[in-house]
Amino acid sequence: MDHLDTRTLQQLDAAHHLHPFNDNAALAKKGTRILTKGEGAYVWDAEGHKLLDAFAGLWCVNIGYGRKELGDAASRQMTQLAYYNSFFQCTTEPTILLAAKLAELTPGDLNHAFFTNSGSEANDTILRLVRHFWAVQDKPQKNIFIGRHNGYHGTTMAGASLGGMAGMHKQGGLPIPDIHHIDPPFWFADGGDLDPDEYGLVAARRLEAKILELGPDRVAAFIGEPIMGAIGVYIPPMTYWPEIERICRKYDVLLVADEVICGFGRTGEWFGSEYFGFMPDVMTLAKGITSGYIPLGAAMFNDRVAGVLADQGGELAHGCTYSGHPVCTAVALENIRILQEEKIVETCKADTAPYLARRWAELGEHRLVGEARIAGMVGALELVPDKGRRAFFDDRGTVGQLCRDKALANGLILRATYDAMLLSPPLIISRGQVDELFEKAWKALNETAAELGL
């Protein structure tokens, strides 16, 4: 692998590159980890370490690294027509074909795609167009979005406001007006003596209480991730989403599923809403849509919402230069072709995900693990001081960082949020690689416990 020496790259990086979601001063001292190559479920760093990437980049490399077909698709499109926009009554073939493909793949009558460059922009799009949807029906006051504390919907003004991360709200004067939040469904910390299914209903009914508090004529939409990813893979009880759907229907509040992580097979179903058995009116897509090979997001709208926007919406005063960029949509089509033709989602559901679930449950037996949760190919190990109790470490986050570093030293990439070790491997991970993941994670847990004297 040909590259400048690591130290030179780190020095240039520290001098000139502001990193997202990093303490940049601390990072400059420590030196950035530089990744240089990827193949299948593995990446290599500049020092030549081979790492099993059990986090799929950032929840996104669903088909695995190094698929030449995606590069070929990009190259073909760049050579033929590198760019054209979808403004001014124009568009391009791959963008049309991707819109049609997404209409076919997504459930129900989610038949209309609006393209963006990212999940954040797709959520911005949804905020604006849903408010517009109600406004053109003479309900401009029906403009409030309800999200959840600790939810994650990206980092633009609307995305970060819809999300419920206190640390993000503190920077830049968020949330913007008319966005409210309810508590998330997290049985481990919040379920008390309720069994998970009872608790799921209790957690969902917080939405009803909030709608009644604000007034149903004020609430435009509820937005949630089917599984809350960034905060620590909170997998709601199966009772939660159907009850949320019932409440949304009752008060005519649109239901927005942010499927940026769950979409394209992460749960073993094509979409998280199918895993949990509910039908959104609007869906946010990004990440797995291109397996992260190129940036692309999309907002999917159902016939009702798109119909009103088309018939009564007038000119939609919204869009990005790169909405429906043909190179990105061509790559997405190729990614989806591979997912479908190689039956990657079906193989996960029938074989690798159940196997991974078994081995994940074994990790759950470790003395440091209070809960091992998993749904398809996404999960978390909640590290705790006392295995018998559902309670966190006092100094939240320290143990998670330690365990993350131990995993890395053993050639395994896991993410830590507080003291939860997060799992989201490429969907093409094999049983043998699941075994490797288990061995390395177990070793990291042992070394973490040893260092803590537990």
Burial bucket for residue 85 (CB in 10 Å: 0-12, 13-18, 19+)? middle
Report the 10 Å Cβ neighbour count for 129.
20
Edge-to-edge strand list for the sheet holding 50-53:
35-39, 42-45, 50-53, 412-413
Tell the smallest beta-carbon distance from residue 258 to ligand PLP (Å).
Answer: 5
- Closest CB to ligand PLP among residues 280, 297: 297
First-last CA distance in the chain: 41
Q: How far is the CB of 233 from ligand PLP (least distance, A)?
A: 11
Whole-number minimum distance, CB 414 to ligand PLP, in Å? 17
Closest CB to ligand PLP among residues 99, 230 = 230
Cβ neighbour number for residue 321 with a 10 Å cutoff: 10
Taking every pair of C-alpha atoms in the chain, what is the biggest distance, in angstroms? 66
**How buried is 104 (Cβ within 10 angstroms: 0-12 exposed, 13-18 middle, 19+ buried)?**
exposed
Q: List b or e across 296-306, with b for residues whose CB sees 16 or more CB atoms inside 10 angstroms.
A: bbbbbbbeebb
CB-nearer residue toward ligand PLP: 119 or 376: 119
Complex with ligand PLP: residue 417 or 433, whichever CB lies closer: 417
Q: Which CB, 153 or 404, lies closer to ligand PLP? A: 153
Compare residues 236 and 297 and give the one whose CB is closer to ligand PLP: 297
CB of 287 to ligand PLP, least distance (A): 6
Residue 418 host element (H or E): none
Edge-first strand order for the sheet with 179-182 is: 110-116, 297-302, 282-285, 254-258, 219-224, 144-148, 179-182
Nearest distance from C-beta of residue 76 to ligand PLP, angstroms: 25
CA distances from 3 to 13, 34, 197, 303 (A): 14, 10, 53, 50
The residue number whose beta carbon is nearest to ligand PLP equals: 119
Minimum distance from residue 439 beta carbon to ligand PLP (Å) = 28
Segment (H or E) for 171 = none
Nearer to ligand PLP, 293 or 399 (CB): 293
- In angstroms, what is the minimal distance from the CB of 158 to ligand PLP? 11
H-helix or E-strand spanning residue 330: helix 326-341
Q: Which is nearer to ligand PLP, 60 or 434 (CB)?
A: 60
Please state the separation of Cα 217 from the chain's center in Å: 30
Judged by the rule CB under 6 A, the positions of this chain that interact with ligand PLP are 118-120, 152-154, 225, 229-230, 258, 260-261, 286-287, 297
Q: Cβ 195 to ligand PLP, closest distance in Å?
A: 27
Residue with tokens 């240089």: 36
DSSP structure class, residue 351: I
